[in-house]
């Protein structure tokens, strides 16, 4: 705590990202990165963009990138906003659409979800009211059909992996559409790993719907930092007003070039992500056969509970065996681990470690 910090900084509880190890080789299953490399066309595009033009500022409007996104999702470029990762886009959306006032209605999002949401709310002094998940960790859509300052729904949710059908989300968008000014933000960071979840093509029908996306997961570009939002022109204009009051040049030249190439190479990524889905389903079945609780997932990760180990101990045991996963020491989920889906070889080592740990937990070995 510093005497130089203002009141807002003193009261913040910053987001804590997953560990990025530097001094030891791990099987890294803790930050939901795609285990497969980006398209070779992405690397080629970035290499071509590396040259004398780096002395110039990038296109602040991300014109070509927005056109590629628009083609991919069947919308107009004027309905697309590009930013420096979906985290930045989310931060701008909180600032643009949710009121910072004690008298304002609170925004709603799940109580167990992406832990950046409450951080953004506190950063912008936005009142919020977390909505409890059901006992099976599903989102109860009717609980969000009440007056609110806005709604944020991740689909699939993280860290649980559970997803809602589009019909449920559309019913929520329609319900809040009866009151002008209430934005329903659907965070689709993991939607590419689910079945028929994406809602971006529907933004022309619903002016209060904003979908937020990232190329970090489905396009294997976590290191490039490109995210985007799709919504009505008035919502996109609101995001632009916040961006241009903060930093007009948020997406650099290399990131724009690589992102455009990724969006043009859909066949490559369709193949990659089908492998991730197949591995997720195989590993989920194998864990259930071993007695684990595995929450049904439509993300590139699974949320599991050991039949014999507390979450913190299981996390530590796996780490000692060179496997990093994510543990959230929070109510209701302290005994669960979130495990990103790696390659088949990585997940086979993970399964072997799980089998060893359960043998130890049951007192069947001395190792």
Q: Which stretch of 66-75, 139-148, 204-213, 358-367 has the lowest confidence by average pLDDT?
A: 358-367
Cα(361)–Cα(169) distance, integer angstroms:
42
Closest CA to 108 of 156, 63, 146: 146
For residue 290, count other CB atoms closer than 10 A to its CB: 14
Q: pLDDT > 90: what percent of the chain?
A: 88
The token pair at 220 is 């294997």
Q: 277 or 367: whose pLDDT is higher?
A: 277
Give, for 303, the enclosing helix (H) or strand (E).
strand 301-305
With a cut of 80, say whether residue 22 has pLDDT above it: no
- Whether the full predicted model's pTM is greater than 0.85, yes or no, is yes
The predicted pLDDT at position 7 comes to: 78
What gap in Å lies between CA 268 and CA 279, rounded to an integer?
A: 17
Q: What is the pLDDT of residues 90-101, one digit of tens each?
A: 999 999 999 998
Q: What pLDDT does 6 receive?
A: 81
- Using omega within 30 degrees of 0 as the cis cutoff, is the peptide bond preceding 309 cis? no
Alpha helices in 19-80 (DSSP H): 40-49, 63-73
Q: What local confidence, expressed as pLDDT, does residue 180 receive? A: 87
Q: Over the stretch 302-316, which tens digit does the pLDDT of each residue have? A: 999 999 999 999 999
As a whole number, mean pLDDT of residues 19-34 equals 85
Which residues fall within 8 angstroms of residue 168, CB to CB, at 6 or more apart?
141
State the pLDDT confidence band at 365, using cuts at 50, 70 and 90: very low
Question: In order of start, what are the domains of the chain with their CATH numbers?
Answer: 7-36+267-357 (3.90.1150.10), 40-265 (3.40.640.10)
Q: What's the pLDDT score for residue 366? A: 37
Residue (of 235, 300, 299, 228) closest to 259 by Cα position: 228
Phi and psi at 52, nearest 5°, equal -60, -30
């Amino acid at each position: 705590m510093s005497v130089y910090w203002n009141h807002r900084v003193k009261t913040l509880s910053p987001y804590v990202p997953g560990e990025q190890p530097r001094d030891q080789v791990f099987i890294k299953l803790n930050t939901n990165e795609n285990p497969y490399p980006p398209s070779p066309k992405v690397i080629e595009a970035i290499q071509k963009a590396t040259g004398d033009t780096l002395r110039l500022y990038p296109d602040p409007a991300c014109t070509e990138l927005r056109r590629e996104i628009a083609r991919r999702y069947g919308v107009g470029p004027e309905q697309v906003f590009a930013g420096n990762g979906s985290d930045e886009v989310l931060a701008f959306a909180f600032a643009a659409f949710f009121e910072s006032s004690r008298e304002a209605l609170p925004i709603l999002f799940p109580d167990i979800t992406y832990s950046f949401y409450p951080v953004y709310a506190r950063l912008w002094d936005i009142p919020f009211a977390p909505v409890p998940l059901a006992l099976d960790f599903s989102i109860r859509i009717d609980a969000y059909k009440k007056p609110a300052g806005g709604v944020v729904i991740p689909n699939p949710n993280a860290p649980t992996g559970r997803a809602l059908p589009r019909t449920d989300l559309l019913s929520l968008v329609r319900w809040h559409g009866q009151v002008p000014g209430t934005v329903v933000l659907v965070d689709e960071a993991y939607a590419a790993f689910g079945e028929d979840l994406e809602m971006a093509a529907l933004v022309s029908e619903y002016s209060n719907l904003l979908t937020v996306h990232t190329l970090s997961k489905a396009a294997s570009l976590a290191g490039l930092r490109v995210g985007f939002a799709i919504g009505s022109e008035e919502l996109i204009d609101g995001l632009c007003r916040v961006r241009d009051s903060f930093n007009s040049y948020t997406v650099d030249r290399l990131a724009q070039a690589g992102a455009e190439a990724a969006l043009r190479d859909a066949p490559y990524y369709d193949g990659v992500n089908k492998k991730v889905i197949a591995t997720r389903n195989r590993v989920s079945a194998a864990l259930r056969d071993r007695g684990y609780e595995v929450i049904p997932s439509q993300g590139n990760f699974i949320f599991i509970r050991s039949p014999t180990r507390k979450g913190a101990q299981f996390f530590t045991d796996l780490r000692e065996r060179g496997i990093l996963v994510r543990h959230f020491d929070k109510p209701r989920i302290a005994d669960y681990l979130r495990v990103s889906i790696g390659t088949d070889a990585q997940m086979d080592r993970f399964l072997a470690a799980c089998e060893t740990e359960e043998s130890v937990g049951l007192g069947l070995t001395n190792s």
